[in-house]
Chains A and B, each alone.
Chain A
Amino acid sequence: RKEVEQDPGPFNVPEGATVAFNCTYSNSASQSFFWYRQDCRKEPKLLMSVYSSGNEDGRFTAQLNRASQYISLLIRDSKLSDSATYLCVVTYNFNKFYFGSGTKLNVKP
């Protein structure tokens, strides 16, 4: 069983749309959770950490559901520049990080 699972997509949405991604993780002892974005052939860039109480950063909202072992990312008012692959990251033992395979988002004019 994969440690972290994501729908690969692609999600094709028009500009201005709201889109949501989920990510499930297998280990209930997971400690920290993050969303990264990765543009084609570039390094992952931290988008936001995910806290138990949920957190928001501008158009982006992240939620954590420990009981069901998933995290989510909501993007409101999608921009063309949001087109990227979104990576879910889960840590165990604080120093071991597992990446999901990513969900590809295409925002179209």
Chain B
Amino acid sequence: EPEVTQTPSHQVTQMGQEVILRCVPISNHLYFYWYRQILGQKVEFLVSFYNNEISEKSEIFDDQFSVERPDGSNFTLKIRSTKLEDSAMYFCASSVRDNEQFFGPGTRLTVL
């Protein structure tokens, strides 16, 4: 069964450093998403991406964040200068249409 994959599974970084989280969506999917979940809190929408551009983004997704689909398979989330409050689980998801999404296993980001 095809699945969304994410790397790394755990990323530890120092405050102020840049991080790139990587995702490989399911191959025939056209819509891609990033979410975050702070420990013990709800899943929060960050951004959706379709046809090589951002289609929606939340208030959380400020200038420190960017997304890219550098080739036909990867979908990345970059955080330019990490803050302590960026520590969370980051989930990538993809869907065929703008509906049922399938999530990757997540990257746990720890900012020290």
Interface residues, chain A, with chain B CB atoms under 8 Å away: 32, 34, 38, 41-46, 49, 87, 91, 93-102
Contact = CB atoms under 8 A, between A and B. Distances in A.
A37 to B, nearest CB: 11
Contact of B42 (A45, A49, A93, A99): A99
B48 A43 contact: no
Nearest to B48: A95
Contacts, number: 51
Contact of A96 (B43, B56, B100, B101): B56
B63 to A, nearest CB: 19
Contacts of A45: 103
Interface in B33-75: 33, 35, 41-45, 48, 50, 55-56, 58
B99 interface: yes
A93 B44 CA distance: 16
B103 A43 contact: yes
B25 interface: no
Give the dominant DSSP class at A's interface. Answer: strand
Contacts of B89: 41
15 contacts: A32-B99, A41-B89, A42-B105, A44-B91, A44-B103, A45-B103, A49-B99, A87-B42, A95-B55, A96-B48, A97-B45, A97-B48, A97-B101, A98-B45, A99-B44
